[in-house]
Amino acid sequence: MKAIMIIGYGSSMPYAADTVRKQAERLAARRGERVYTAFHRADEPLIADAMRKAAEDGVDELLVIPYFIADGTITKEYLPREIGLEGYGDGVAEVEGRRISVRFGRAVGSDPGVADVVLRTIEANGGDAEKTGILIVGHGSEDRSNSEAVESVATAVASKGYKVFVGYNEFCGPTIEESFHKALEVSEDRVIVVPMFIACGLHLKEEIPQKIGLRKNSRGGIIHRNGKAVEIRYASAVGEDPYMADVMAAEAERVFGR
């Protein structure tokens, strides 16, 4: 039996796990395979428990999709080990005496299809390539994995004619504040802020709004700068977008066919 497993990082707060489970429901509705969810830490089921359940259900072919923005130490080292693989990449996991052929997918945020999701978000928020500044926000990482994923999407969006800037919440630069000011300078009507995050947690609800001059939990507002009023539209986390299920469905089709 073929199946799919979406793996999230896990958190003591419910929003991240809720996002993964909701996307699993959407993916299951688009595909015929059973879709399992699992977590690296904090949430249940943990990966080992989800693998045991898959073995009990008779799964012998499994596509694993890390629901992360980028591939880093966790996806390349910890997740394969917790799945039962000897290393990063495709392999065979022996679980409860059953051999499961595992196709190990890339982090969902690194999929080229995510650029289309971001473009849909920009269009839905009234983006105009001539008048609108675009700020794509990443968490940032010391090993560049997060920033590489964010910059790849930014390059794809810029290729459509948009004025795109990238800013990071921590670990690397440019900062959100620096890039937001640049987006304001080129904007004639509005700045659309798109967070390349998995879910709307504290970073997105409290820290980032304040860095761009909005109140906590705000979805946007008007900022007066250099004699002009600029509308700020603050989108939800990319990982929460329903179209991310289409990105995963395309990956499943590539691996399993229709």
Q: What share of the chain is helix, strand, coil (3-state, %, to 5)?
A: 40, 25, 35
Identify whether residues 116 and 230 lie together within a single domain: yes
Q: What is the mean pLDDT of residues 194-201?
A: 96
207 and 139 in one domain? yes
pLDDT digits (tens, 9 = 90+) for 44-60: 999 999 999 999 999 99
pLDDT at residue 30, as a whole number: 96
Query: Is the same domain home to 24 and 35?
Result: yes
3-class DSSP assignment, residue 64: strand
Nearest to 136 by CA among 164, 114, 97, 156: 164
Mark whether 188 and 248 lie in a shared domain.
no
Could you tell me if 103 and 200 lie in one domain? no
The catalytically annotated residue of 139, 181, 203, 224 is 139
Q: Are residues 70 and 125 in the same domain?
A: no
Residues 122 and 101 in one domain: no
- Do residue 224 and residue 201 come from a single domain? yes
Domain count, the chain: 2
* Mean pLDDT value of segment 209-238: 92
Q: Which domain holds residue 123?
A: 110-238
Mean pLDDT of the chain: 96
Q: Does residue 119 share a domain with residue 87?
A: no
Whether 22 and 101 share a structural domain: yes
pLDDT at position 123 over 90: yes
Run of H or E including 180: helix 176-186
Q: What is the pTM of this model?
A: 0.95
Q: pLDDT confidence of 138, banded at 50, 70, 90?
A: very high
Tens-digit pLDDT profile for residues 173-190: 999 999 999 999 999 999
Strand partners, 61: 2, 101
Strand ranges of the sheet holding 228-234, from the earlier edge strand across to the other edge: 163-168, 132-138, 190-195, 228-234, 220-225
User: In CATH, what number is assigned to the domain containing residue 91?
Assistant: 3.40.50.1400
Percentage of residues of the chain with pLDDT beyond 90 = 92
pLDDT of residue 216: 92
80 lies in the same domain as 124: no
40 is catalytic: no
Read off the pLDDT of residues 59-72 as tens digits, 9 standing for 90 and up. Answer: 999 999 999 999 99
Pair (103, 128) in one structural domain: no
